[in-house]
Structure 1
């Protein structure tokens, strides 16, 4: 999973958004092509997952390109059509609900929210490692980052601190997210790639095995398990699809922006991954430390190793910015759906800033309980891997439902106005959706297999935890829906009904 940007986040692309006057007196924001490209890039790109893919060396290029073609592009195109046809409040709840009714619509948005909640600990484990690497020497930093007690304490302190900041409203979260994204992701990412280029150009030893094949060894399934997580790196493109109607020319600008953003995202991920592999031996790759080791090694090659500590602090700040926006963002969507009658009134309460405090507290409780994984599994790294795989599975469930819903809506509502429509008629829709479904199903299957590169303890225990956790999370929205009551609908709910023209 990667950086998420809220719709009202103050970002640099704001300069490219100019107001235009329609027939009404209200101003409608028009988003330029390159502005939308930047929005999509900042939604997806994150540095946290680079070490996981550095495990594969040059083969990582294949995984990035493959996941982009069979997952990122189909998700972007399908989400764009659904968002343009159903711009009303609700997002994926609206899209799936129009196709299969509110039961499945609620399940879809619940899976989206739940996957992000599970994703929190994996992000914060990386933040804990980054904070550990601001000290000296590296042996102390490494030991601290691998300590379970330290990791759990930092995880919970940081998460709850960000949660309480979120109580102040989306404005506070957006500001932290903007500065965190700029100075904790974009700038450090550019520095990483530039340093690696200079490092290689000046004749320093390269750890990356240049003899590895571009194509993976398909005979060893376990070696491809970590690559399934690349699908989570590319998740979230549907979040920006809600802006498709604000583009000047949706039919032209949306697919073009997706193409540009996809190429840029894949290029950034590949360059960053190879940069890590350049200075960190594949056998020594650590999911939550190798990026920080790479920074320190690169700066050490130029005689200024202490700059590696500064990069660790910047990366930690970037994680805080990322977490700040995804703490509040998904819960806001759940609140809107809940107020329409799908959550008990006790979960619909907000503070004076309109923040769903109770939902955030429940969300925090789930995150806290997930820390149990750190005491069950043999290492911090194995716990991070398990939670990452579970988040991937739950998120992919939502995408599977979304693809099927898009196909069904072409048949049940053929006359619905779609400002952006996947070209090629039904053949185009079926082709894009089947490619997306196949990619998501493949990644889901791989996610249940213990990885060969990481010690996760007993394979049976690992698979059992994944199966039980997935089953519980998958059934939860249907249980909530089964017991929901019409009286739960809030009097101030402005959620539109399904079936609007």
Structure 2
């Protein structure tokens, strides 16, 4: 009975589950500064990154179970499979505090907007919310998927629709937009290489396409349904991103945007204009739900990927532990401890926006490495596993994977440069520091493989209980 229930996820449910993974509002405020030009900044990454990543994930996810670790293992063996799974998991560890800082910004609007700039408040919210999300994840994937799907509808779709309506009515009633909306501003202004950094960072606004692939086999018909879920996810992500950034740009003047609370600033402005400010706490609550759903979605995929790594004997036995629901308790515990340490940065560093940009840069660089490996694995599997039946055989996969790989490689180089929005005076020191951080974190899998111990032998996987 439990097995049937787990394998009964529809493609719509998987699409919403995937959307809750991909859609987050970490770049909404930054892209809103470009006004109408944000459309281009979302379209370009969608074409050179989202399309290749979604197509590759659809083919690999409908053919091989187990997600990124198994895909790369089939193509390049355990060394690079471990590296790819590690990059995915580690960027998740860095990304969650970044995302939960937006929860702190939303909560601040319920208490005192100035708290959005308070490091201690941000750190406390990150720790408490991540702890709650960890508890949800420990209840098993079926409950986690249900929670993420509900939050995708209630916390993402509904607020986005309302934001679009508010912005349209606001302009229609004669109010002036905070940014120009004529056709001359469709193309964003250039700022040289430093301006391109924000574009590169926006590649990973669509990051997470492959995360839910580890659960594709729990669908009713993954061969036919998983590609549909990827298409649904891609459409929803693009529409939500563009609507959110434009809705914010119309309402909030650039220099007043708080990166971790930009959407709430927009809603607060609209609600004050239409004299319904009592609705602001409601919207804050919905966005908090959306962020928690995204965190839960992110926890499920990468953590199960690291569980697969552990069960191959590549990690200490602690990482191989699961509970009765099949949740990787060992991985989740280590993840929670690391997030708590990262949250301390909000207390130590006075400028919350500075912490945001450092986490954003490190997250982007780590994740780009994983995507390069994934694209290369897809190309190689077309050669070495050519006879394997594909649930979905992607058209032009080698070309699309090559496009995605080249875009990611270029993005990695540009991502080392400090963004124009961040007031950094010592550019060389920033580049060296970021390179050392990314290089050190990326080398961990190879270090663990070099010093692997005999008592890390694989354990027998428990049968999950729903």
TM-score, normalisation: structure 1: 0.83
Provide, for residues 340-369 of structure 1, a one-character-per-residue CA deviation record: whole Å limited to 9, x for no partner.
Answer: 211111322233443333322211222122
Is 1:57 equivalent to 2:35 in the alignment?
Answer: yes
Q: Which residue of 2 aligns with 1:129?
A: 105
Q: Which residue of 2 aligns with 1:74?
A: 52
1:441 to 409, 412, 435: 409
Q: Distance in 2 between matches of 1:277 and 1:194?
A: 14
Provide, for residues 392-413 of structure 1, a one-character-per-residue CA deviation record: whole Å limited to 9, x for no partner.
Answer: 1111111100111111222222
Q: Which residue of 2 aligns with 1:343?
A: 315
How many matched pairs?
459
- 1:316–1:35 distance in 2 versus 1, CA, 3 Å: closer
Provide, for residues 227-256 of structure 1, a one-character-per-residue CA deviation record: whole Å limited to 9, x for no partner.
Answer: 2222222112223456389686957x7667
1:63-462 equivalence runs, <5 A: 63-87=41-65, 90-135=66-111, 141-211=112-182, 213-218=185-190, 220-241=192-213, 243=216, 258-259=230-231, 261-374=233-346, 377-423=349-395, 428-456=396-424, 458-462=426-430
SS across alignment from 1:332: helix
- 1:430–1:187 distance in 2 versus 1, CA, 3 Å: same
Query: 1:336: how far off?
Result: 2.5
TM-score, normalisation: structure 2: 0.89
Q: Which residue of 2 aligns with 1:22?
A: none
- 1:161–1:457 distance in 2 versus 1, CA, 3 Å: farther
Unaligned segments of structure 1, at least 5 residues: 1-7, 9-18, 20-25, 136-140, 496-501
- 1:28–1:384 distance in 2 versus 1, CA, 3 Å: closer
Residues 120 and 347, structure 2, Cα contact 8 Å, conserved in 1: no
Q: RMSD value over aligned CA atoms?
A: 2.9
Q: Distance in 1 between matches of 2:186 and 2:176?
A: 21
- 1:297–1:467 distance in 2 versus 1, CA, 3 Å: same
Unaligned segments of structure 2, at least 5 residues: none
Q: Distance in 2 between matches of 1:170 and 1:223?
A: 40
Residues 386 and 462, structure 1, Cα contact 8 Å, conserved in 2: no
Residues 132 and 142, structure 1, Cα contact 8 Å, conserved in 2: yes
Higher mean C-alpha displacement, 358-367 vs 122-131: 358-367
The structure with the greater share of residues assigned to helix is: 2
